[in-house]
Structures are given as C-alpha cells and as structure tokens.
C-alpha cells in the first residue's frame, strides 16, 4: 500500500468519525458513497462546521468556491478534495 493510500484511509476514517459524532443520524449507515448533502449537510451551519473542522484537522484553507455539491457529495469526494489540497500546500 502506498503512502497516498495510507493517507487516504486515514482521512476517510477520520471524516466518517467526524460526521457520525458531529451530526448523528440514527438508522443511517455512513459509507464512503453516502449522499452527504441530503443526509448530513442539510443546512448551512453544518457545512460551516465541516469547513472549520477540515481547516483545523488537516491544516488546509478553504475558499468560498469550494462549497459545492461536487466536493461535499460524499466521503470519497471530500477525501479527494483534502488530498488535493494537501498536495498543493
């Protein structure tokens, strides 16, 4: 397993832990492809909480245009985004 893959797994598990503890949704199993906008990120405050968490946890900086359904679609897309940001900082 390469370093990138190890990092990816760490980020995935960290994000799953974050969503399950911050926005508990009993009865819903959170997987890599679960639809975040309809299940967890249902309002602006939750999105901003996620933004603050990403910035603090991974040391990345987000901009306004990062707030979109492509990036926040699921754990997989969010992980790809974090990896991309980490590779450019």
User: Which lies closer to other proteins via its Cβ, residue 11 or residue 18?
Assistant: 18
Decide if residue 63 touches other proteins (CB under 8 A).
yes
Site for other proteins in 1-20 (CB under 8 A): none
User: Which lies closer to other proteins via its Cβ, residue 11 or residue 78?
Assistant: 78
CB 61 within 8 A of CB 55: yes
Place of tokens 């309002």: 43
Task: Report the distance separating Cα 17 and Cα 2, nearest Å.
Answer: 23
CB 89 within 8 A of CB 53: no
**Binding residues for other proteins, per CB under 8 A?**
21-22, 24, 26, 37-38, 41-49, 52, 55, 61-65, 67-70, 72-73
């Amino acid at each position: 397993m390469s370093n990138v893959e190890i990092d990816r797994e760490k980020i995935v598990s960290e994000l799953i832990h974050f969503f399950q503890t911050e926005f508990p949704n009993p009865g819903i199993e959170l997987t890599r492809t679960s639809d975040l906008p309809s299940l967890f990120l249902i309002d602006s405050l939750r999105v901003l909480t996620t933004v603050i968490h990403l910035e603090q946890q991974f040391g990345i900086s987000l901009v306004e245009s990062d707030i979109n359904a492509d990036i926040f679609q699921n754990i997989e897309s969010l992980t790809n985004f974090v990896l991309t940001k980490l590779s450019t900082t």
